[in-house]
Structures are given as structure tokens and as C-alpha cells.
């Protein structure tokens, strides 16, 4: 299934994509797409509903982040062998874990706001895992049992904040609008080979990233297992799993986003995102005007 959330920011409704690619309103079946509705039992109930019997979502609706009320938003750094090579970094012996702020989560087509005084905002197309069952100390051989599905994440990153400001990477990863998720949460039954998905990212129509999840250093099952040894993963948590080569930081000369740029990205089977880059204006808390239509 392809699950989706549509409507104004903060007031999204749950939906499902039918065989014709139209969004159907799931509000009569579940209240929202959150951890509470991502268990295997809940997904089975949704699967039992014939989408053709559901009302169509109104045309032109904004698409929200494909999962709401995210608890932990975890990211894995330097997890593609070819990306590690472009940055000159050694292959990590264990997964590098950092946090993205929950407050950076936005819809897949909402604007990306450059942080105040940012000069090094970068792009990263990533496969994100959505957790469906509570996971603690799980083995890699059973880890996929705890996964509800997958989505696209653009792990937008401010490299000066991340690398040159001391402390942890988290500083450059959680700025407002730095976590677009979606358009869809695709249940794992539709993605039987998560380690063989092609992925791409364009800036202003120019191809920057071309990659595949097959070059991940630590695979989906290993990541879920590993993270679960350091924290309890709850339903609705999101783990974004690293990016292939082609980020701005790795270019010679380096290249970063500026106001007016348009970033488009996609992963095989998971849809596409498109973000317009805009300058910081006034309060970053007022992001409502940056939530775009469908």
C-alpha cells in the first residue's frame, strides 16, 4: 500500500493511493497515519478496505509528511561506500547515529527555508525506514518484522553548522524544513528488495546524485537492529539511512543551495519530492506560507 497524508499543515488527513494513482480519503477507517496505526494488525485492517469505495481527496491538496507525530527521527551518517569516498572519510566500523529534530519534518513539496546566516545548505536523497512495532535489542535476522514501510527523506544539511561549529552533527541537520518525508509511506510488502533501489536528485534540473541502496555499508536490517541496542524504537519513528555520492559538499568546487533553486529527488517505488529553496524571512516558526499545494 501507498499511504499518504494530505491537507493543510497540522490538519492533514490520512489517505491511500488507489490503482489509478488517485488519493482516497482514509479518515473513516483511521484517524491519521501515525505510530498508532502502523502495527501489522492496523495495516491489515487498512488493507482489507477497497480503496474504490473511499471518497476521493479534493483535487490540488497539499501533501504532508507521510507519517505524523514522529517520535524519534534518527539518521545514519556516511552509510554509502561511494559517498564516504567522495568526502574522503574512512568507512565507518559501526553506524554513525545522529538526530534530526522532529520539528524539521515537512511535506515532500514544501519549501526549504535557508537558515539565518546559512551559506552551506546541502542536499541528500535518502531511503527512510518507518518503524511499525516497538523494537528493543532486536537481531538483524528479525529486524524487518519491526518495519512498517519506507519513504523518501531529503536529509537537508547545513554543512557549516554540522562540521565547523563544534559538537555534534545534529546542529546542521534539524533546522526548520530540513526533513521532508514522503510523498508516500510505502508498506514493506511493496518493497521486497530495499537494498536494490535506484535513487536520484536534481538541482534546477541538473542531475547531482545518482545512486542505489545496494552501496549502503549497513543495510536496513542491520540499521534497525543496531539502533535498537541504543534506544527503544517506537511505532512511527523514522530512521533515514544515508545518501549516495553527489552532495554539494563533495564537489570541487563545493556547491550549495541558494534562494530560487529547485530540488527534485526520487527513489524507485517511493515516488518523488520537489522543494523550492527560499531565503530566511523573520520568524522561522511561521512556516505556513511555505507549505505548498500538491
Question: Tell me: the pLDDT tens digits for 59-75?
Answer: 999 999 999 999 999 99
Q: SS3 string of 55-97?
A: CECCCCCCECCCCCCCCCEEEEECCEHHHHHHHCCCCCCCCEE
pLDDT of residue 294: 47
Q: What is the pLDDT of residues 151-208, one digit of tens each?
A: 999 999 999 999 999 888 999 999 999 999 999 999 999 999 999 999 999 999 999 9
Which position has the grid cell 572519510?
A: 89
Q: Encode burial over 67-91: b for 16+ CB neighbours within 10 A, e otherwise.
A: bbebbbbbbbbbbbeebbebeeeee
- Candidates 150, 225, 232; CA nearest to 190 is 150
Query: The C-alpha cell of 103 is what?
Result: 520539528
Residues 6+ apart with CB under 8 A from 277: 111, 112, 114, 121, 257, 258, 259, 260, 261, 262, 263
Higher pLDDT, 288 or 229: 229
For Cα atoms 244, 3, 26, give the angle at the middle one, nearest 5 degrees.
165
CA distance 163 to 217: 22
pLDDT of residue 86: 82
The alpha carbon dihedral of 16, 20, 22, 25 has a sign of negative
pLDDT band for 293, please (50, 70, 90 cuts).
low
Count of CA atoms in the C-beta half-sphere (13 A) of 188: 21
Helical ranges in the chain per DSSP H: 40-47, 81-87, 159, 220-228
Decide if pLDDT at 35 tops 80: yes
Residues 6+ apart with CB under 8 A from 122: 156, 157, 158, 159, 247, 248, 249, 256, 257
Taking residues 124-139, report their average pLDDT: 98
CA distances from 293 to 111, 129, 176 (A): 10, 25, 19
Decide if pLDDT at 214 tops 90: yes
pTM, whole model, 2 decimals?
0.95
Amino acid at each position: 500500500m501507498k499511504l499518504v497524508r494530505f491537507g493543510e499543515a497540522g490538519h492533514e488527513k490520512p489517505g491511500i493511493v488507489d490503482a489509478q494513482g488517485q488519493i482516497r480519503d482514509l479518515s473513516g477507517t483511521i484517524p491519521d497515519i501515525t505510530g498508532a496505526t502502523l502495527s501489522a494488525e492496523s495495516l491489515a485492517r487498512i488493507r482489507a478496505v477497497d480503496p474504490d469505495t473511499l471518497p476521493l481527496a479534493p483535487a490540488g491538496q497539499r501533501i504532508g509528511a507521510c507519517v505524523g507525530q514522529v517520535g524519534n527521527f534518527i539518521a545514519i551518517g556516511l552509510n554509502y561506500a561511494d559517498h564516504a569516498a567522495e568526502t574522503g572519510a574512512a568507512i565507518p566500523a559501526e553506524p554513525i547515529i545522529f538526530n534530526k529534530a522532529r520539528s524539521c519534518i515537512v511535506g515532500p513539496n514544501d519549501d526549504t527555508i535557508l537558515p539565518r546566516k546559512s551559506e552551506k545548505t546541502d542536499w541528500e536523497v535518502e531511503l527512510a525506514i518507518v518503524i511499525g512495532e516497538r523494537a528493543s535489542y532486536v537481531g538483524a535476522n528479525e529486524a524487518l518484522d519491526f518495519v512498517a514501510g519506507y519513504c523518501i527523506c531529503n536529509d537537508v544539511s547545513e554543512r557549516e553548522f554540522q562540521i565547523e561549529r563544534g559538537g555534534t552533527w545534529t546542529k546542521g541537520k534539524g533546522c526548520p524544513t530540513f526533513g521532508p518525508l514522503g510523498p508516500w509511506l510505502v508498506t514493506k510488502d511493496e518493497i521486497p528488495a530495499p537494498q536494490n533501489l535506484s535513487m536520484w536528485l536534481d538541482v534546477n534540473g541538473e542531475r547531482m546524485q545518482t545512486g542505489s541502496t545496494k552501496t549502503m555499508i549497513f543495510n536496513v536490517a542491520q540499521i534497525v537492529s543496531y539502533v535498537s541496542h541504543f534506544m527503544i524504537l517506537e511505532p512511527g519513528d523514522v530512521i533515514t539511512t544515508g545518501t549516495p555520492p553527489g552532495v554539494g559538499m563533495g564537489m570541487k568546487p563545493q556547491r550549495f543551495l541558494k534562494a530560487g533553486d529547485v530540488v527534485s529527488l526520487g527513489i524507485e517505488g517511493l515516488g518523488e519530492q520537489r522543494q523550492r529553496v527560499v531565503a530566511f524571512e523573520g520568524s522561522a516558526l511561521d512556516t505556513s506560507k511555505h507549505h505548498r499545494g500538491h
